[in-house]
Structure 1
Amino acid sequence: MNFIAYPDREFMMLDVAGKIAGQLSEQLNMYGRASLSVPGGTTPGPIFDILSGVNLDWANVAVMLNDERCVGEDSPRSNTRLLKQRLLVNKAAAAQLIPLYAEASEPELMLKHLAEGIAPHLPLTVLLLGMGNDMHTASLFPGADLLAEALAANAPILMALRAEAAGEPRITLTAPVLQEAKNIHILITGPEKRAAIEAAAGLPALEAPVRVVLDNATVHWAE
C-alpha cells in the first residue's frame, strides 16, 4: 500500500478532497462521466464539505455509498441521510445519487434491483473507504455471516451481511467491486487505526477484510 502520513487532519482532508476532485475531473474529461463511492460516518464529513463546493460536471457524476445500514433516511444511523446533508449539496447537488437501500421486509429482496442501478457505473472511478479498529471496511466485517462469499472473486455487486458488530443488517459493495475501482483511497485517523492497517497487511482477508484493497490503495492517515 501507499501510505501517506499528514501533520494534521485538516491538511489531510484538503489533500484527499483535492486528489478525488482531480481524479473525477480527469475521468470526466476523458469519458464524459465518472463515479464516486464514499463511506458513511462522520470522519469523511470535511471531505464531503470541500467536494460539494468544487467546480465539476457533477451532473455526470454518479455517487454511491460503500455500504448502508438497513434503515430509512429518517434514522440518524442512515448513511444516505448524511450523504445528502454533507456531500450532495451546493454544486454537488447536481450529482446522481445511486441508492444502496430500498425499503423491504428483508434486504435480500432488493439486492437485484439495487445492483442493476449500480452496474452501469462500474468500475468505480474513485473509491473512498474508511476502516474500523477491527479492520472492517464497507460492511465487510470479520465474523459476518456471509463474509467469505462477499470476498470471493465471483461475488455479486451487492450483498446483505449480518454481523454482531454491525448492529442492523447491512447492504454492502463486495470485494470485487472495491478491488476494481480505478483509484482507491482509505481514510483513517489515530494511532489505533494506524496499527490496525499495518497489521492487516500481514493477515488473511477473512481476519482483516480491508486487506482485499490494500495492494492498490493509498492510505491517508493523520494523528
Structure 2
Amino acid sequence: MRIETYPDFEMMAINVAQRICGDLKAALDSQDRVLLAVPGGTTPGPIFDDLCAADLDWSRVDIILTDERWVPGDHERSNTKLLKERLLVNRATDATLLPLYVATDEPEEGLPQLIPGIEARLPIAVAVLGMGADMHTASLFPDSAELDAALAHNAPALIPVRPESQPEARITLAAHVLNGALHKHVVFKGQDKRDALDKAMTLPPQDAPIRAVLDGATVHYSEN
C-alpha cells in the first residue's frame, strides 16, 4: 500500500482520473476488453467528470459498480443513476455498463442472472474504491451479517448484504474480486477517514473491511 496526500480535493480528482486513464490504456495494450470498477456516492463524482473526457478506446471498456443498492436504475438512491449522469457521458458514452440490478424483489433471486456475465469479464483491470469512517468499502460493512461470506476466498463474484446501518438490501463485489484488481485506487478526504485508515491497519478485515483490499493499493487522500 502506498499513500499519496493532496492539499485539496480538486487536485486529487484530476490526478486520480489521469492515473485511471493511464492504467486503462496500459491494460488495453494487452487485452481486447478491460473492466473498470467504480464506487457510487458523492466523492467519485468529480473524478468521473474528468475521466469521462479521457482519450481512450472506451468501446473496449466495461464498467461495473463496486456495489449497488437493490433498487431500479432510475431510483434516486441508485448508484447506477450517478454513473449514467457523470461517467457514461462525453467520450465514455461508448463504454459498456454491466448492470447490478434486475427486477426481482430480493437480490438473491436476481444474482443468478448477473453473476455469470460478471465472472466472465474478470479480473478487474482498475478498481476505484472509497472508504467510510466505519472502515467499510464497497458494501463490505462491519455491521453486515454477510461480511464473512463476502470476505471468503471462494465467494461468488456478487454477494447480497443487508447491513444494519443501511436502509436497503445491497449487492457487493466480493472482497477477493476487488482485491484481485490489477490496479487499485482508494480515494477519500477528511481527517476522520485518515484516522480510520490508521485504525484499520491494526484490525482484521472482519472489523475493518477496507483491510481486505489494500494489498498493492494506492491510497489517495485529500486533507480538504
Aligned-pair Cα RMSD in Å: 0.8
CA apart distance, 1:13: 0.5
Q: Given that residues 139 and 166 in structure 1 are in contact (C-alpha distance below 8 angstroms), is that contact kept between their aligned partners in structure 2?
A: no
Q: Given that residues 201 and 214 in structure 1 are in contact (C-alpha distance below 8 angstroms), is that contact kept between their aligned partners in structure 2?
A: no
Deviation string, structure 1 residues 27-61 (Cα, Å, up to 9, x no partner): 11221221100000010001101111111110100
Match of 2:113 in 1: 113
CA apart distance, 1:166: 2.0
- Structure 1 segments, 4+ long, off by >6 Å, are none
Q: TM-score, normalised by structure 1?
A: 0.98
CA apart distance, 1:147: 0.6
Deviation string, structure 1 residues 53-106 (Cα, Å, up to 9, x no partner): 111110100000000001112321100000000000110000010011111021
Deviation string, structure 1 residues 157-196 (Cα, Å, up to 9, x no partner): 0010001112200010001101110001100100000000
Unaligned residue ranges in structure 1 (runs of 5+): none
Aligned length: 223
Distance 1:106 1:194 in 2: 35
Match of 2:181 in 1: 181
Match of 1:89 in 2: 89
SS of 2:30 mapped into structure 1: helix
Amino acid paired to 2:38: V
Q: Given that residues 186 and 219 in structure 1 are in contact (C-alpha distance below 8 angstroms), is that contact kept between their aligned partners in structure 2?
A: yes
Match of 1:135 in 2: 135
Q: Which moved more, 1:34-43 or 1:69-78?
A: 69-78
Amino acid paired to 1:173: L
Match of 1:59 in 2: 59
For residues 163-178 of structure 1, the aligned pairs below 5 Å read: 163-178=163-178
Match of 1:207 in 2: 207
Q: TM-score, normalised by structure 2?
A: 0.97
Distance 2:105 2:113 in 1: 15
CA apart distance, 1:136: 0.5
Distance 1:147 1:112 in 2: 20
Unaligned residue ranges in structure 2 (runs of 5+): none
Distance 1:55 1:197 in 2: 33
Distance 1:209 1:57 in 2: 33
Distance 1:216 1:27 in 2: 17
Q: Given that residues 179 and 215 in structure 2 are in contact (C-alpha distance below 8 angstroms), is that contact kept between their aligned partners in structure 1?
A: no
Distance 1:85 1:73 in 2: 12
Q: Given that residues 142 and 208 in structure 2 are in contact (C-alpha distance below 8 angstroms), is that contact kept between their aligned partners in structure 1?
A: yes
Q: Given that residues 37 and 128 in structure 1 are in contact (C-alpha distance below 8 angstroms), is that contact kept between their aligned partners in structure 2?
A: yes
Q: Given that residues 140 and 147 in structure 2 are in contact (C-alpha distance below 8 angstroms), is that contact kept between their aligned partners in structure 1?
A: yes
Q: Given that residues 58 and 95 in structure 2 are in contact (C-alpha distance below 8 angstroms), is that contact kept between their aligned partners in structure 1?
A: yes
Distance 2:209 2:2 in 1: 18
CA apart distance, 1:215: 2.5
Structure 1 vs Structure 2: percent identity of aligned residues?
52
